[in-house]
């Protein structure tokens, strides 16, 4: 699976809202697309999470093209911007059957999940401290095969 990573300068250089706007700008190629509108519909919640510095764990978007992980840089890392990579994508990450997972502090998880559920069926929240699973894409087109080796049969004469 191909994974692209982007790192956005955030607080104190940008507000949570400005950071979310910059993130939306690279994910949705067309400002008036359905995907762009859906991203903007959760701007308040996403901006709040960015301001809470939850995006040291990645935002993950998947389902349409390569998986994209987006991090935010905070404090001195944001000010110097050396690790920033805000370059655009060569595809529209909000085209087709895409999904997004936002990291969230566990103490805010219930209200954030409820807010997102009322605004989007594609955008969800997860515990920011939880380990990301590598195969959470949910795509039907990708198949996983497990090879099980019967060692006894393999070594029989």
pLDDT tens digits for 100-117? 999 999 999 999 999 999
- Match 């990573």 to its residue by tokens: 5
H/E segment holding residue 118: helix 109-119
Q: What is the pLDDT of residue 147?
A: 43
Render pLDDT for 2-50 as a digit per residue (tens, 0 to 9): 999 999 999 999 999 999 999 999 999 888 999 999 999 999 999 999 9
**pLDDT at 139 exceeding the cut of 80:** no
pTM of this prediction? 0.82
For residue 115, what are its two tokens?
């807010």
What is the distance between the alpha carbons of residues 22 and 19, in angstroms, rounded to a whole number?
5
**pLDDT at 1 exceeding the cut of 80:** no
**pLDDT at 131 exceeding the cut of 70:** yes
H/E segment holding residue 47: helix 43-51
**pLDDT at 138 exceeding the cut of 50:** no
Q: List the one residue out of 40, 73, 41 whose CA is nearest residue 55.
A: 73
Q: 3-class DSSP state for residue 41? A: helix
């Amino acid at each position: 699976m191909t994974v692209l990573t982007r790192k956005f300068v955030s607080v104190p250089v940008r507000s949570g809202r400005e950071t979310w706007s910059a993130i939306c700008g690279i994910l949705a190629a067309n400002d008036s697309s359905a995907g762009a509108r859906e991203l903007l519909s959760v701007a308040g919640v996403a901006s709040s999470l960015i301001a809470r510095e939850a995006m040291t764990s990645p935002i993950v978007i998947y389902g349409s093209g390569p998986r994209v992980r987006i991090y935010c840089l905070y404090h001195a890392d944001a000010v110097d911007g050396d690790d920033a990579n805000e370059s655009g994508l060569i595809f529209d990450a909000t085209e087709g059957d895409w999904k997004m997972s936002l990291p969230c502090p566990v103490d805010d998880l219930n209200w954030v999940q409820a807010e997102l559920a009322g605004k989007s069926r594609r955008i969800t929240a997860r515990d920011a401290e939880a380990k990301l699973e590598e195969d959470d894409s949910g795509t039907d087109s990708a198949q996983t095969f497990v090879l099980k080796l019967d060692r006894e049969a393999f070594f029989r004469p």
